[in-house]
Each structure stands twice: as C-alpha cells, then as structure tokens.
Structure 1
Amino acid sequence: MDKSAFFTVKNSTFTPVAGLAFFAIASGFLMSLIPLSLTSFNMDNSLTAWLASIFYLGILVGTLGVQSIITKSGHRLALVLFLSLLIATILLMLMHPVAWVWLAARFIAGIAVAGVFVVVESWLLMADSAKQRAKRLGLYMMSLYGGSALGQLAIGPIGISGLTPFFCVIGLLLIAILPPLLVKKGQPLQLQHQKIGLKEARKISTPAIIGCLVSGMLLGPIYGLMPSYINTQLASTEKTAFLMAVIIIGGMLIQPLVSFLSVRVSKSLLMALFCLLGTIGIVGVLDGKSLLIISMSYFILGASCFALYPIAITLACETIGVEKIVAATELMLLSYSIGSVFGPVIAEHSNRSAHSLILYLGFVLTTTSIYMLLKSLHKTHSGQTPAIG
C-alpha cells in the first residue's frame, strides 16, 4: 500500500493510550507487589531477582513473535489477546503459590507484556513525521509512567498481603481491555508488515540500539529490585511506595521535555546529558540525609532513566518506512529486554555492599554518558547534522 494512502485513514491514539493507562496502573502495582508479597506466600526473598530476570526474559522471547500476531489479527485484537494472557498468569500465581509456578507465570507474563508494548508503540509510531512520532511517544510514555506511579501509590491503601491486591490488579486489567474491545475504529490498517533484514538492521543507529539496551539495564533493576532496596533502607512500606512513585513520576514529567528536545538536539548528546543527570541523582541517593533530598534524588534518577528509551526508539525509527515500524519496534524492545534480563542479576551480584543496586546504576549511567558523548562528538566532527542523532 502507498504510504500516503495509509495516512488518509485516521490512526486514533485514544484506544491504545486509554488501554495502556489502566494497564500501567495495574503493572506498576504488580511490579512492586510481587517482591513485597513473597513472604506472605511463604516464599524466600532471594527469589526477587530471578522473578525480575525471568519476566524480562519473557519480554525478550515475546518480541520475536509479536509481528506475526499483529499481522494476522490487527492491532486491536492483538492488544485484547495480550492483556487477557497477562490476567491468566496472575490467576495461575494465585492458584499455585510456589516458586516454580511463579517463575513460569512471570515468564509468560513477560511475553504478554512484550505484546502490549509492541502493539501500542507501533500503533502510535505509525505517524507521518518525526515530530508527530515524538509527540505520540511522549503521550505514550506519560500514560505509561503516570499509570505506573499511581500503581505504586496503591500499595499503601490496598496493602501487600493476601489475595485482595492481586484481584485489584486483575480488575484494572479488565478495564484496560475495554477500549480495544469496544472501540472498533481507529486502529492502523492491517499492512503486510515487513521484517528488517540483517543489512537494514546494521543501518539502524548504534546509539539507538545501545540506548534501548541500557534502558533495560536500568529499568529492569529499578522495577525488580528497587522496592526491596528502599524497603530495606527505610523499613517502611509507605515510604517505599512513595519513593517508587517519585521515581516513576520523574520519568513521566520529563516526557514533554524529551519530546521537545528530541527533534531539536542530537539524540546521542541528549542521552549523554540525561545519563549525566542520573549520575547526579545517584550521588544524592547515597549521600542524602533527609527524606526531601532523597526524594529529589530519586526524582532525578527516574527522570534520567525513563528518558532514554523514547529518545532511542525515535532515533531508530527516523529512517524506517511505515511497513517496517512493527519490526523496528520489536528490534528495539529486544535490545531493551536483553538489558532487562541481565540487569537485575548483575545488580544483585555485582558486589556485597548494601548499596550494590545504586552503585550498579551509577556505573551504567556514567559509562553510557561517556559513550554517548563520544558518539555525539564524533558525528559533529565528521560533518553530520547533530540534530538527527
């Protein structure tokens, strides 16, 4: 199909964003609920890192098959399918609260979440300009992170013990299914989505791939290990929920700035600056003496870590045709997933310090900042236009 013909069909943002918002609330609550509820189900806390890693392994595996499902069913029904699969994994965990079942369920949940991400991201990225893509992705990230922050705050009033919190998550996911189930107009046309060959993959910006990889290496441990780390440091479930929400709110509020700058500043330089900002946040977390300073530091850390993925994925999609957006989204999510799989395990076992997670995040942010800065300087000196990556 001709590209201009594709854009004559209205590609609505309401359905994916509305579904994503409720999915994000449920997912944000669930990501902190799982590590904090292990003891109430008589499971060891040492399972935390493995549950995080196997979840992201599921995301990695899931990225390999999403394109074929979207091609056969369309974006709308694919979103309903993946959300339903996620609900089924939670029910399985509640029916059989033993370690190996939870590990298997979280692996399948990762596949389902990969489907949700690829469906929604490709749906929104099928736009006719880089500026519109940046705006849509900013809306996507704000909905995702805003919902996740609300989910974190639910830990306090709802609690972490028993079945009630998990049933609340299921209820939110059922609401998330309603927009794609009931609103049948506005999805992208069912194109014959093309795969990206090896030669084309090599042409995708290396900083874009590295940016997605590093994003996973940062966000995997933040989602999987940070609740336990904060709870250990402060011995307060309420403060843990508050600070996790602060991290994600930082990621949400930075998105308009990311959208504004990503079409005006070199994306490599932009990622370098955000990583440097994250390093400053790490120093504040380690040295902060008051809850206010620590909260501000976590806010800065969240803003920097959550800024990387939208910058990287828009950089990757700048020169990709609309028929290859799904494949490009899969490739970027694959890079993110690889980082997410290994990040929690490396962070957990990198050293024996009580602050091993924070030190790991600081190391990743610092080295990435240096790499992106060097790439940005190299492009500037080689005569390339710095505003495109």
Structure 2
Amino acid sequence: MHSRAVDRVRTGIFVPVAGLVLFAVAAGYFMSLLPLALPSVGLPPSLAAGLASLFYAGLLLGALRIEPVVRLLGHRRALILFLSLLLLTVVLMALLPMASAWLLLRFVAGVATAGVFVVIESWLLLVDDDRLRSRRLGLYMMALYGGNALGQLLLSGSGVSGVLPFAVVSALLVAAILPPLLVRQGAPRLAHHQRIPLRAVKQLNRPALVGCLVSGLLLGPLYGLMPLYLDGHALWQAHTGPLMASLILGGMAIQPLASYLAPRMSRSLLMALLSFLGIMALAGVQRGDSLWFVVLSMAGVGAASFALYPVAIAKACVDQPTEKIVSITELMLLSYSVGAVLGLLLTSGLARLDRELDLLAYLAMILLITTGYMLMRAAKGTVVLVNNGLPVPPEHDKRSTAGD
C-alpha cells in the first residue's frame, strides 16, 4: 500500500497554507518592486532582466537539490530554513544596494524560493487520492496568487523607494516563518522518499512537463518584465499596481474551476483551452482603450498563465505513489524554472532582433504553440482509446506516464 509511506495521521494544511499566504504577499510585492526600485538606489533599469534571470537560475538549481534537504530535516524544519534564507537575502539587499550584490542575492533567493515551493507543494500533495490532490492544488494556487495580488497593492501603499519596502517584505517573511515554527503538528512523516533520477524525467508525462515548461515561459517574463512594460505605457503607467493585481487575481479566480475540471476531462485539452483563453485576453490588452477593459483582459491573461502549472503538476501526479511525490514536484519545478529562464532570455533576444516585437507578442506566440501542441496530445489520447475499442472516459489522459 502506498499509504504506508505516510504517517497514519492525516497531514494538516494550516501550516503550509498560512505560511504560503504570507510568503506570497512578500514575494509578489518584491518581484514587482525590484525593477521599479532600481533608479531609487542608483542602479540602471536594464539590471531588471538580469535580476529576474538569476532568480530563476537559482530556482532551477534549487529544484535539483531540495529533496535531500527535505529528507534530512523534514517538511516543517525545511520550510523554516528556506523562508529564513529568503529573509536574509532581502535584508542584505537593503544593506548592499550594489549591482553585483543584488545579482548574487537574487540567485540565492531563487534557490530558497525553490525550497519553499517544493516543500509546500509536496506537503499538500502527500495524499493517495488524485481528486483530493487536485483540490489541494487549487487551494495552494489560490493562496499563492491571492497573496501575490495583495502584494501588488503594496506598490501604492508602501511605495518603491527607500528602506520601507524592504522592511515590509522582511516583516511579512518573519510572519511566514511563525506558523511552521510554532505549530509542530500536521507535517508529513515519510518513511522514505523514492528518488527519481534526472535522466528519468523523460519517463514522466510529456504534456505535464510541457505544461510546466510553458508556465515558466509565460510567468518568468510576466513577473520580471510586465511591471516595466506597464510602467512604460503612457495610458497605464499610473495603474501598474492594480493591473498587476488583476493579472494575479485572474489566476487566483480560475483555480476552483481548474481544480474541478482537471479530474473530469483530458488535462491536455484543458491546457489547450486555457492557452486559447490567454491568446484572446492578450488581444484585449493590446487593443483595449478603457482601463476596465484592460483590467478584465489582464485577469484573463493571468487566468490562462497561472492555471497551467497546477493542471500540469496534477497530471504528473496521477496514479503516482506518495513516496515519489517530493521528487515529482521537484522535477516539475525544474521544468518550470527552465521555462522561466528561457522566457527571459527569449524576450530579451527577440527584442534585440525586432524592436516591434513586444512582450505581448512573445506571450501570444508561446500560447499559440501551446494550444496546438495540447490539442494534438488530447486528440492522440482519444484516438488511442478508440482504436483499442475502449470507451473514452473523462480522464483518458491517465493511461500513460510518458504520453498523454
């Protein structure tokens, strides 16, 4: 029985969710703050892409190295460790406003953030019921994106210059450490982890890996460059915080629907539909001349972009034993991180090749390719079942770990 890998006491969700919300508020604020705060500390705005790239490079490295830490310390202590490391990077950035120091510290922050994500995701996913996993992932993403959206609103409340923003982020991270520090009950107790080697990544579900990769290709530029894009737009410059909040609230609002649909239909088809929604929403952002219309369109972009990751990771975990969950979440985060780094490099490279190709055009191209790929995978899965003389169930994409 797979359940022997987990202690009979049901894993609690208060500690990871409470810590996640506070972490998400701090991270959402800080991600949007950094590119806007550069001039106030005497650093060039061009440093924004480098800061974002090194953060995701740290996320990539961290995704390869988290599982041994979780195995050694357990989920609760590992969460305290990674949140404390992230707090340290924020404090040092406030004390050392230098380009080299900030680049190094954002890399370390990426490693710490990878630890937070893997610990919390695996904590919530360590159950044997696939539908419960989908519901918990929906809760996870709502907490993450809701916190991120609240963080965007701090751009107006706490500003983007001086020491105050760093103090606010530090206070939020201290508060995020308190739940795992004070509540010692409910953490998973694994008898053992089953390590999945990196070379075995090709055996995992391909659409799930692609979904996480695409999520990174979208969210890396959205977090790292969208604040600058909005700030440089004459019509929306004064509304950067609310527009970023609407982007993330859109991602939060769609989570209950995505978690409801994921176990009931082909997840590949669901990811295709989400990608198509994103294309339509980007057209609205590009063409919109009303603030409210652009707010709604940004919410649509967020709904499409932020829903891909939980659908993909739920797909990867279908019918998997609990002892593999930590390694699977690690590999999914690795795929996401590769996408985020590539996304930032691609946006910078394409902008140099064609000055008319802006961030929205890049996002639309990624979503269009993803729509086509996921439709082909969904169709292939249906054809396989029909050719085998089987009825096509809503969850036909559970049949293979490597294909659809």
Q: Normalised by the size of structure 2, how large is the TM-score?
A: 0.93
C-alpha separation in 1, matches of 2:66 and 2:189:
16
C-alpha separation in 2, matches of 1:386 and 1:59:
34
> How far is 1:203 from its partner?
2.9
Alignment gaps of 5+ in structure 2: 386-391, 398-404
Q: What is residue 387 of structure 1 aligned with on the other side? A: 395
Q: What is residue 373 of structure 1 aligned with on the other side? A: 375
Q: Normalised by the size of structure 1, how large is the TM-score?
A: 0.97
Q: 1:155·1:238 contact (CA, 8 Å) conserved in 2?
A: no
Q: What is residue 313 of structure 2 aligned with on the other side? A: 313
1:28-48 CA deviation, whole Å, 9 max, x = no partner? Answer: 000011000000011111111
Matches within 5 A, 1:350-365: 350-351=350-351, 352-353=354-355, 356-365=358-367
Q: What is residue 6 of structure 2 aligned with on the other side? A: 6
Q: 2:7·2:189 contact (CA, 8 Å) conserved in 1?
A: no
C-alpha separation in 2, matches of 1:139 and 1:353:
40
> How far is 1:219 from its partner?
0.3
Q: What is residue 37 of structure 2 aligned with on the other side? A: 37
Q: 2:213·2:335 contact (CA, 8 Å) conserved in 1?
A: yes
Change (3 A) 1:77 1:198: closer
Change (3 A) 1:289 1:315: same
C-alpha separation in 2, matches of 1:164 and 1:131:
43
C-alpha separation in 2, matches of 1:123 and 1:251:
22
Q: What is residue 24 of structure 1 aligned with on the other side? A: 24
Change (3 A) 1:250 1:368: same
> How far is 1:367 from its partner?
0.5
Q: What is residue 141 of structure 1 aligned with on the other side? A: 141
Matches within 5 A, 1:39-118: 39-118=39-118
Q: 1:285·1:294 contact (CA, 8 Å) conserved in 2?
A: yes
> How far is 1:4 from its partner?
4.5
**Which deviates further from its counterpart, 166-175 or 284-293?**
284-293
1:261-293 CA deviation, whole Å, 9 max, x = no partner? Answer: 001010000000000000001111111111111
> How far is 1:355 from its partner?
5.6
Change (3 A) 1:45 1:11: same
> How far is 1:334 from its partner?
0.2
C-alpha separation in 2, matches of 1:250 and 1:354:
27
C-alpha separation in 1, matches of 2:204 and 2:393:
16
**Which deviates further from its counterpart, 354-363 or 32-41?**
354-363
Matches within 5 A, 1:237-252: 238-252=238-252
Q: 2:2·2:128 contact (CA, 8 Å) conserved in 1?
A: no
C-alpha separation in 1, matches of 2:205 and 2:160:
42
- In the alignment, residue 363 of structure 1 is paired with which amino acid? M
1:321-377 CA deviation, whole Å, 9 max, x = no partner? Answer: 111100000000000000011111211331343661111000000000000001100
Structure 1 stretches of 4+ moved >6 Å: none
Q: What is residue 154 of structure 1 aligned with on the other side? A: 154
Q: 1:380·1:386 contact (CA, 8 Å) conserved in 2?
A: no
Matches within 5 A, 1:88-237: 88-197=88-197, 200-234=200-234
Matches within 5 A, 1:339-350: 339-350=339-350
Change (3 A) 1:386 1:201: farther
- In the alignment, residue 372 of structure 1 is paired with which amino acid? M
Q: What is the RMSD of the two structures over their aligned residues, measured on CA atoms?
A: 1.5
SS at match of 2:64: coil
Q: What is residue 258 of structure 1 aligned with on the other side? A: 258
SS at match of 1:176: helix
Q: 1:36·1:160 contact (CA, 8 Å) conserved in 2?
A: yes
Change (3 A) 1:274 1:43: same
SS at match of 1:90: helix
Q: What is residue 268 of structure 1 aligned with on the other side? A: 268
C-alpha separation in 1, matches of 2:80 and 2:286:
42
SS at match of 1:64: helix
C-alpha separation in 2, matches of 1:33 and 1:24:
14
SS at match of 2:246: helix
**Which deviates further from its counterpart, 84-93 or 22-31?**
84-93
> How far is 1:198 from its partner?
6.1
